[in-house]
Amino acid sequence: MVRTIAVRGSPWDGEQKGAIYLLGGQRSGNTGKMYKVWRNQSQANRWWFRRVVGGGTQPLPSKEGASIPALQVAISSTVRFTADVGGSREVYLYDAGSVYRYDEESGTLTCVLAAASYAAKTTHWKTGKPLPPPDEVVIADDGTAYLNWYRGSYPKGMVWRVSPDRNQVELVIFNPSEAAFDGPALQSYWFGGPQMNGYQPPNIILAGAVDDRWLRRLKDGRISTLCSDGEWREFATRGDALKRPHLYAGFGTNGWAMYRDSPYVYRTYGSKSDYATTIIRFGPVDWHKPTARRLLKDTNSK
């Protein structure tokens, strides 16, 4: 049973062009294992597969920069793929708050983000207690890490930023009240979020919400909303946004934006519970386009 896949390059065009990577399902003998699928040149270009990660007994490295032979590790049933870093097209895995790079040539896993580098500095917005592993992690091209909690900090989501040297950890998106919507990211409102669902280099973070309809971005410390005419605008309240042209994208659970190199937004038609079989595409989108309408006075400013 296969739980999820990641495609690198164009595997249909041959062994040298790319491969497909699979993570085993949680209730199967493939749990905690990653497989590579490719067109094997030595076997008349037939599709071939082999296990490349997991199945061992050794723990994953807990220190950034440390490596281990990939077939010797024991990875959890919840391990998943995350975005590549720097457009490298390499395979990255996220497990228990840490991120690992799989190196095809050496057959190793290397820790590129250790949970220990931020765990003591990221705390629950209400209780002040340590948070569980983040729901999502994005590592920008310069090594900056963006960490997103929603389930672990429910009912208010948070996005924290960790500097490339891991010395600075700061909250960059928060949902303090229902008064604001867009504008300063630490005063933004999210109806069931924020939930990160995209990254565009060098420093654009895309986000949505479970129970809302917009794709929004973090740019220069501010949140703006993507509208149906391709412009980014700031809205003072959620009610204000509902009255304006917008993209009904169903983000959060039903849609996503590619992490890089793609100017399009995708969403499924229907919900996951409806077994939606249609995907619609919106674009092209200019992720870095200046905000067309910026709030002259921030909602929460005094």
Integer CA distances (angstroms), 73 to 55, 57, 103, 123, 173, in order: 7, 5, 14, 30, 35
Nearest-CA neighbor of 115 among 70, 141, 87, 152? 152
- Give the tens place of pLDDT for each residue, 100-152: 999 999 999 999 999 999 999 999 999 999 999 999 999 999 999 999 999 89
Distance CA 242, CA 246 (A): 8
User: What's the mean pLDDT in 1-27?
Assistant: 88
Q: Confidence band (pLDDT; 50, 70, 90) for 291?
A: very high
Cα radius of gyration (the chain): 20
- Give the tens place of pLDDT for each residue, 205-261: 998 887 777 889 999 999 999 888 888 999 988 878 777 655 554 443 445 666 677
DSSP 76: -
User: What's the mean pLDDT in 279-301?
Assistant: 77
Amino acid at 276: A
The residue that leads in pLDDT, 196 or 267, is 196
Nearest-CA neighbor of 176 among 162, 195, 157? 157
| Contact status, residue 174 vs residue 167, Cβ threshold 8 Å | no
Under DSSP, is residue 41 helix (H, G, I), strand (E, B) or coil? helix
Please name the residues in contact with 40: beta carbons below 8 A apart, sequence gap of 6 or more: 15, 46, 47, 48
pTM, 2 dp: 0.88
Under DSSP, is residue 5 helix (H, G, I), strand (E, B) or coil? strand
| Contact status, residue 55 vs residue 33, Cβ threshold 8 Å | yes
User: What's the mean pLDDT in 146-163?
Assistant: 94
Helices (H) and strands (E) in the chain, counts: 1, 22
Amino acid at 158: M
Under DSSP, is residue 11 helix (H, G, I), strand (E, B) or coil? helix
- Give the tens place of pLDDT for each residue, 52-104: 999 999 999 999 999 999 999 999 888 989 877 877 778 999 999 999 999 99
